[in-house]
């Protein structure tokens, strides 16, 4: 570690690394390559951990997972080969509003200017081709080609990543790395301010007024909470809004875990036609859905069944909103939530201790969370009662028996008694899982049986849930698990458990990242099952090579005492495992093979698969 | 298998699969996904093998490897997630002139038109984003959105892939798959014809005349042969040209194995300043370099040292050429080679039995090779002797003692006597390897120590060499090894051995494709070593997690008798292994861990690394 106060200038790449550290990133993901080796000298020098993933796609997934826990993350790759390998992960972060700062090493400006036929190019002297590809899945790309503009460009990239909650890509030529930057620039506040231009303030005001007007006009309004664009800088505001609001609350699939299931107004999970009867009944009666951070994808709406149309939808996204078809741009979800809390909420309840990393407890004060003065400004309660609406709310309040999903998301699946040696089925597994989960768990569900089955699981308080209901890239969660587990360890809450549910086919995509998990001594629980639905249940093309998974940790270099493997075939096996303290406490990596009948699947996935099959056919 | 003669129409995707089969592809690489499952029903129905890789990047690498052996290959992925994951591999095939037909499954036209928020999209209703990204690394993209235009678009895509020897991407909406296509269209010749428009014929004629003129004017001309754009449809023509020409022949790095080292005029490997002294001496004296299928990259010219400049360069590429700075486009290397053989060659020698898959021995007659009537037209010898040139050629012919590289590519590295228990060094290993290689071997060298060390290896006749001296994507060869081994088995020469040399860090990138190798019962020899040069020899960021590699085959499902692992620490160990018949005959998968001192590296890589370090610094 260097004492920067004694220096007049620092190197350009140091500036970037220190900025990265200032905004709360502790570990940087990526893979070394010819053009970024000089970069990497600075990472550890600046007190950051270099993760060193096995490949760039996994590194990108891991950076996504790290950002979902930490609030933001950084990824370093090399132009062309590395950059393109990570592109699927970056596109996923873009689709799912995950803020990742992607730093791409380019050859020297001299080589670019001379159009040299370097390796990692197409041999045509064009050094912009891949930049154009990255641009399509980044909310900003910045090319650092001068030390004079570098600090502004870097700060603006970080600010944009944070405001938009989406990836930015910073290209740095190898000969820029050591250029001098004035040290005093670092003493400015990290580039996370969000001063709104006057136009945006007006836009914001108009949106809030419109929303309040619509809510006042509505007879049966309901809140529908998703997870897109919330995690980074808006979670506390969401908690405050939900805690103060009296409207019924539904969680979208991406909002699982984000919405505290013990909230008095929480009803359950809305996922289209496969929702529980009480949720369907509620949605049938509502005339206004205030959707916050939700995207209505085919997978999260059970094939668009019960999609909420524009005529009764207020759709508030990270930086834009749509009220019954009318668009508002350049707003910010954070400000909107604060205003809505003030306008629609009751007296401010005690703020829920945030399930997110509380940055203020970290060693260095960070500026990611909106100024607390804004969030804590005493709010004025505004009377919005109307008679028919009262009726609706009273119906909701008095019908706990009819809305049994208040505390459990899936009670419409019969609660089996414990049945000894019976084989494990998906419906049994996911409904029983909730009993073993505990406060603060980080839970990852790979797209497939896990991401649908888990709709039947009751989440504990402060759980954080990672899944991709929009991008749905198979293999995402094994990399994301590494990133999430590392972010948890980097946080002020390092005892959080990280628990991954993945199919064996998905595990094959990115299995080597188990090696990175082992290398950094991370101790997630990884459970893997099988999947074979949608189309071609019997076709050979859906077969995968049967692996002896139990050998993987040792093959990837885990020491004998540093991991445990388990083979679980019956409900009794699983209950026994759940009762083992060493397993439950996550002191070492746990690797669990869950045997589930090949054609068994969660009921809701069977229904969804039918819908997809019909559309494919 | 279906008897197509009894049907009036076939389904659109059947048309594509049958065309793929007609051009000589037997196995299709890829990964199943939601939108392509309907595709995959047709693959096996049409008599093609579905490979089913572990992930799309590896599948792309494997398709590249398959194409380099088979002449052309096919890859099937899903829009977005799969397509982007494969993009680095496709970009590599584009850079390195490898013909891969990439078929991407898109959602139905209805879903696209309605701009539905489907999974595997960015959620913005735009279904063209990824197509624009793929377009930058494809020589043609085709969107199949009507059964009427489909046959023409498909045929044109296949033709372009073949003519350009680069990837094409065909996008097919899921609801197009079963559309009817007139069966009789299949009876037309597979779309590999290359009728030249009149303008191109003129261009071709002008190029050939110019080349002949330059060769006649030159005092000391030399041929420099690379491997870019040769493999597919031009190898036989190259063999005929080299066999009939009297000019000295140098191989570029990418031309290793492509040029028969027993040719009387073969001098050695030209790789810039790290070439052998005799080659450097020769290059110093030449006034004209006729470069065929070569790209002067930093890696293959030892950091541009001894780059041949325009003033003495004739550069003939797949579809364009440059003669001393003057450009010719829309030519084809195949036609040019035939014309040069006729104009510059001696009497046509007996055609070397092609080291490439001889398609005429396959079950179905294929049209990939240029019409034999063209290639075998009796050629007219043209006197090109000039006195000073005679002098040069005589000097060359009489100086075998001075050009000792005639039969060995690396005799400038001292030939050690066998030295018992001594540890293995790179320089020892690569110079001794040639003795154990045998005719027809397929040899893969991962970018790094292997791809440089192997410059010191004497290749056997008919060897095929796979490496990426331009794209240099780490991890490429493990996927490519699967594809190459499968292509060899699919060919008329299934007893060819496939031998991979890879560093352990590179192996980690794509290790799971060992599973696909095991699944299909392929039996390559895989040897892995370590690497750590260029920058940061001691830095932690260059560390990798130490694996227990010997467990990998079993972890990936290999049966006990289906593989052998070996740990080789000394020269004696290696000699013993090389003398084992079971090892040498490749009856099962062989997995060899080669222990080489961490900081040892091939001498030429040390020199190149120094050059790269200087440019990075």
**Mind spelling out the 3-state secondary structure of B361-422?**
HCCCCCCCCCCHHHHHCCCCCCCCCCHHHHHHHHHHHHCCCCCHHHCCCCCCCCCCCCCCCC
**Residues B27-47: tens digit of each pLDDT:** 999 998 878 877 888 999 999
Residues making up the annotated binding site of B for Mg(2+) are 504, 527
> What is the structure's pLDDT at A39?
83
**Distance from the B94 Cα atom to the nearest Cα atom in chain A, whole angstroms:** 7
Say if residues A290 and A249 touch (Cβ distance below 8 Å).
Answer: no
Q: How many CB atoms lie within 10 A of CB A262?
A: 11
Residue B162, in any domain of the structure = yes
Residues B441 and B472 in one domain: yes
Residue A401 has pLDDT above 60, yes or no: no
Would the CB atoms of B536 and A37 count as touching at under 8 Å? yes
Distance CA B445, CA B427 (A): 15
- Going by C-alpha positions, the residue among A210, A240, A491 that lies closest to residue A324 is A210
Q: Which residues of B472-501 are buried (b: 16+ CB within 10 A; e: fewer)?
A: bbbbbbbbbbbbbbbbbbbbebeebbbbbb
Residue A283, in any domain of the structure = yes
Would the CB atoms of B539 and A515 count as touching at under 8 Å? no
Say if residues B492 and B358 touch (Cβ distance below 8 Å).
Answer: yes
- Going by C-alpha positions, the residue among B304, B303, B324 that lies closest to residue B315 is B324
Using CA coordinates, name the residue in chain A closest to B33. A474
Residues A207 and A177 in one domain: no
Report CA dihedral (B158, B160, B165, B167) to the nearest 10 degrees.
-70
Q: How many CB atoms lie within 10 A of CB B398?
A: 10
Residue A605 has pLDDT above 90, yes or no: no
Using CA coordinates, name the residue in chain A closest to B31. A541
Residue spans of beta strands (DSSP E) within B558-613: 563-568, 589-594
Residue B419: which pLDDT band, with cuts at 50, 70 and 90?
A: low
Say if residues B430 and B453 touch (Cβ distance below 8 Å).
Answer: yes
DSSP H helices in A107-224? 109-113, 129-135, 150-164, 198-217
> What is the structure's pLDDT at B124?
95
- Burial degree of B597 (CB within 10 A; 0-12, 13-18, 19+): exposed
Nearest to A38 among B519, B535, B545 (CB): B535
Q: Between A and B, how many CB-CB pairs are < 8 A?
A: 253
- Burial degree of A394 (CB within 10 A; 0-12, 13-18, 19+): exposed
Distance CA B142, CA B163 (A): 16
Residue B407 has pLDDT above 50, yes or no: no
> What is the structure's pLDDT at B406?
24
**Domain C-terminal end among B352, B371, B406:** B406
For B316-345, what is the mean pLDDT? 92
Using CA coordinates, name the residue in chain B closest to A546. B557
Task: Choose, out of B45, B88, B514, B546, the residue to mutate when testing the contact with A (most A CBs < 10 Å).
Answer: B88
Residue B493 has pLDDT above 60, yes or no: yes
Nearest to A548 among B133, B509, B555 (CB): B555
Residue A484: which pLDDT band, with cuts at 50, 70 and 90?
A: very high
Residues making up the annotated binding site of A for Mg(2+) are 504, 527
**Residues B463-481: tens digit of each pLDDT:** 999 999 999 999 999 999 9
- Measured CA to CA in angstroms, residue A318 lies from A98, A113, B384, B544 at distances of 11, 39, 74, 39
> What is the structure's pLDDT at B160?
94
CB < 8 Å to B95, chain A: 121-123
Find the range with the poorest average confidence among A86-90, A583-587, B202-206, B353-357.
Answer: B353-357
For chain B, what percent of residues have pLDDT higher than 70? 82
Residues A392 and A438 in one domain: no
Residue B373 has pLDDT above 70, yes or no: no
Residue A531 has pLDDT above 70, yes or no: no
Residue A542: which pLDDT band, with cuts at 50, 70 and 90?
A: low
Would the CB atoms of A91 and B122 count as touching at under 8 Å? yes
Residues A182 and A206 in one domain: no
Coil, helix or strand for A609?
helix
- Going by C-alpha positions, the residue among A74, A234, A82, A96 that lies closest to residue A168 is A74
CB < 8 Å to A542, chain B: 32, 37
**Distance from the A357 Cα atom to the nearest Cα atom in chain B, whole angstroms:** 27
Residue B609 has pLDDT above 50, yes or no: yes
Distance CA A268, CA A264 (A): 11
**Residues A180-233: tens digit of each pLDDT:** 999 999 988 777 765 566 667 888 999 999 999 999 999 999 999 999 999 877
Say if residues A56 and A516 touch (Cβ distance below 8 Å).
Answer: no
> What is the structure's pLDDT at B396?
44
Token pair recorded at residue B507: 């192996």
Residues B19 and B89 in one domain: yes
> What is the structure's pLDDT at B395?
40
**Distance from the B447 Cα atom to the nearest Cα atom in chain A, whole angstroms:** 11
For B590-594, what is the mean pLDDT? 92
Tell me which DSSP letter residue B535 carries. S
Residues A149 and A211 in one domain: no
Say if residues B207 and B337 touch (Cβ distance below 8 Å).
Answer: no
What is the residue range of A56's domain? Answer: 4-187
Distance CA A23, CA A359 (A): 10
Residue A356 has pLDDT above 50, yes or no: no
Question: Who's near A16: CB < 8 A, 6+ residues apart?
Answer: A42, A103, A154, A170, A172
Residues A366 and A453 in one domain: no
Residue B351 has pLDDT above 50, yes or no: no
Residue A541: which pLDDT band, with cuts at 50, 70 and 90?
A: low
Nearest to B118 among A297, A540, A542 (CB): A297
Say if residues B471 and B505 touch (Cβ distance below 8 Å).
Answer: no
**Distance from the A3 Cα atom to the nearest Cα atom in chain B, whole angstroms:** 21
Using CA coordinates, name the residue in chain B closest to A80. B88
Nearest to B515 among A296, A471, A508 (CB): A508
Distance CA B72, CA A235 (A): 52
For B341-345, what is the mean pLDDT? 86
User: Cα B132 from chain centroid?
Assistant: 26
Residues A166 and A46 in one domain: yes
Residue A180, in any domain of the structure = yes
Residues B453 and B588 in one domain: yes
> What is the structure's pLDDT at B422?
83
Report CA dihedral (A471, A477, A481, A487) to the nearest 10 degrees.
0
**Distance from the A84 Cα atom to the nearest Cα atom in chain B, whole angstroms:** 5
The residue length of chain B stands at 617
CB < 8 Å to B555, chain A: 547-549, 551-552, 555
When the pLDDT of each residue in chain A is averaged and rounded to a whole number, the result is 84
> What is the structure's pLDDT at B343?
87
> What is the structure's pLDDT at B41?
86
Residue B413, in any domain of the structure = no
Task: Specify the CATH number for the domain of residue B31.
Answer: 3.40.50.970
Tell me which DSSP letter residue A596 carries. B
Token pair recorded at residue B386: 């000039």
Nearest to B129 among A57, A118, A136 (CB): A136
Residue A411, in any domain of the structure = no
For B558-563, what is the mean pLDDT? 95
> What is the structure's pLDDT at B34?
79
Residue B421, in any domain of the structure = no
Coil, helix or strand for A77?
strand
Coil, helix or strand for A133?
helix
Say if residues B50 and B58 touch (Cβ distance below 8 Å).
Answer: no
> What is the structure's pLDDT at B5?
56
When the pLDDT of each residue in chain B is averaged and rounded to a whole number, the result is 84
Using CA coordinates, name the residue in chain A closest to B56. A509
**Distance from the B86 Cα atom to the nearest Cα atom in chain A, whole angstroms:** 8
Nearest to B298 among A91, A116, A545 (CB): A116
Would the CB atoms of A37 and B534 count as touching at under 8 Å? yes
Quote the pTM value.
Answer: 0.89
Residues A12 and A118 in one domain: yes
Residue A511: which pLDDT band, with cuts at 50, 70 and 90?
A: very high
Task: Specify the CATH number for the domain of residue B371.
Answer: 3.40.50.1220
> What is the structure's pLDDT at A351?
36
Question: Who's near A139: CB < 8 A, 6+ residues apart?
Answer: A94, A160, A161, A164, A166, A167, A168
Residue B26, in any domain of the structure = yes
Would the CB atoms of A35 and B616 count as touching at under 8 Å? yes
Residues A229 and A273 in one domain: yes
Strand partners, B500: B444, B526
Residue A360 has pLDDT above 60, yes or no: no
Would the CB atoms of B557 and A546 count as touching at under 8 Å? yes
Using CA coordinates, name the residue in chain A closest to B550. A555
- Count of domains observed in chain B: 3
Residue B414, in any domain of the structure = no
**Domain C-terminal end among A406, A437, A465:** A406
Question: Who's near A18: CB < 8 A, 6+ residues apart?
Answer: A4, A10, A46, A186
> What is the structure's pLDDT at A364?
31
Would the CB atoms of B88 and A84 count as touching at under 8 Å? yes
**Residues A161-180: tens digit of each pLDDT:** 999 999 999 999 999 999 99
Decide which of A369 and B276 is more confident. Answer: B276
> What is the structure's pLDDT at B2?
55
Nearest to A298 among B54, B118, B470 (CB): B118
Would the CB atoms of A32 and B541 count as touching at under 8 Å? yes
> What is the structure's pLDDT at A7?
67
**Residues A413-448: tens digit of each pLDDT:** 333 444 567 888 888 999 999 999 999 999 999 998
Distance CA B323, CA B215 (A): 11
ipTM of the complex: 0.88
Residues B142 and B257 in one domain: no
């Amino acid at each position: 570690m260097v004492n920067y106060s004694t220096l007049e200038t620092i190197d350009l790449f140091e500036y970037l690394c220190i900025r990265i550290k200032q905004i709360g990133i502790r570990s940087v993901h990526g893979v070394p390559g010819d053009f970024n080796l000089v970069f990497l000298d600075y990472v550890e020098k600046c007190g950051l951990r270099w993760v060193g993933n096995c490949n760039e796609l996994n590194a990108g997934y891991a950076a996504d997972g790290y950002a979902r826990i930490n609030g933001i993350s950084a990824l370093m790759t090399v132009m062309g080969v590395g950059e393109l390998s990570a592109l699927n992960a970056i596109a996923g972060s873009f689709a799912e509003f995950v803020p990742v700062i992607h730093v791409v090493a380019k050859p020297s400006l001299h080589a670019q200017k001379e159009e040299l036929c370097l390796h990692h190019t197409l041999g045509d002297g064009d050094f912009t081709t891949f930049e154009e590809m990255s641009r399509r899945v980044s909310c900003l790309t910045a090319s650092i080609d001068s030390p004079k503009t570098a600090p502004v460009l870097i700060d603006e990239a970080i600010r944009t990543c944070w405001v938009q909650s989406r990836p930015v890509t910073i290209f740095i030529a190898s000969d820029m790395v050591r250029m001098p930057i004035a040290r005093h620039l670092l003493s400015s506040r990290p580039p996370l301010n969000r001063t709104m231009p006057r136009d945006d303030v007006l836009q914001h005001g108009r949106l809030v007024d419109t929303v309040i007007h619509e809510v006042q006009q509505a007879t049966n309004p309901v809140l529908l909470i998703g997870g897109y664009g919330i995690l980074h800088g808006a979670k506390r505001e969401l908690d405050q809004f939900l805690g103060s609001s009296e409207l019924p609350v539904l969680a979208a699939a991406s909002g699982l875990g984000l919405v505290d299931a013990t909230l008095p107004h929480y009803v359950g999970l809305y996922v289209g036609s496969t929702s529980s009867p009480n949720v369907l009944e509620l949605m049938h009666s509502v005339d206004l859905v205030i959707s916050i951070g939700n995207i209505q994808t085919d997978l999260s709406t059970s094939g668009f069944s019960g999609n909420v149309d524009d005529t009764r939808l207020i759709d508030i996204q990270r930086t834009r909103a749509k009220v019954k078809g009318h668009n508002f741009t350049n707003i910010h979800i954070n400000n909107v939530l604060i205003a809505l809390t003030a306008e629609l909420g009751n007296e401010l309840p005690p703020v829920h201790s945030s399930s997110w990393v509380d940055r203020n407890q970290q060693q260095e004060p960070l500026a990611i969370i909106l100024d607390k003065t804004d969030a804590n400004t005493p709010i004025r309660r505004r009377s919005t009662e109307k008679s028919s609406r009262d009726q609706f709310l009273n119906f909701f309040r008095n019908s706990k028996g009819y809305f049994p999903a208040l505390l459990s998301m899936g009670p419409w699946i019969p609660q089996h008694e414990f049945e000894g040696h019976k084989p494990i089925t998906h419906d049994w597994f996911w409904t029983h899982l909730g009993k073993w989960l505990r406060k603060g768990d980080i839970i990852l569900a790979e797209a497939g049986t896990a991401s649908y089955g888990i709709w039947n699981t009751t989440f504990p308080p402060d759980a954080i849930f990672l899944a991709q209901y929009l991008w749905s890239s198979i293999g995402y969660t094994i990399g994301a698990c590494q990133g999430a587990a590392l972010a948890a360890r980097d946080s002020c809450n390092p005892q959080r458990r990280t628990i991954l549910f993945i199919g064996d086919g998905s595990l094959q995509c990115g299995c080597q990242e188990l090696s990175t998990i082992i290398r950094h001594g991370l101790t997630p629980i990884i459970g893997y099952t099988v999947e074979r639905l949608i189309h071609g249940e019997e076709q050979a093309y859906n077969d995968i090579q049967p692996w002896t998974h139990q050998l993987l940790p040792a093959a990837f270099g885990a020491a004998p005492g540093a991991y445990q493997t388990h083979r679980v075939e019956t409900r009794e096996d699983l209950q026994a495992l759940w009762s083992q303290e060493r397993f439950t406490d996550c002191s070492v990596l746990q690797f669990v093979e869950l045997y589930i009948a090949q054609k068994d699947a969660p009921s809701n996935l069977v229904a969804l698969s039918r819908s997809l099959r019909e559309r494919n056919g």
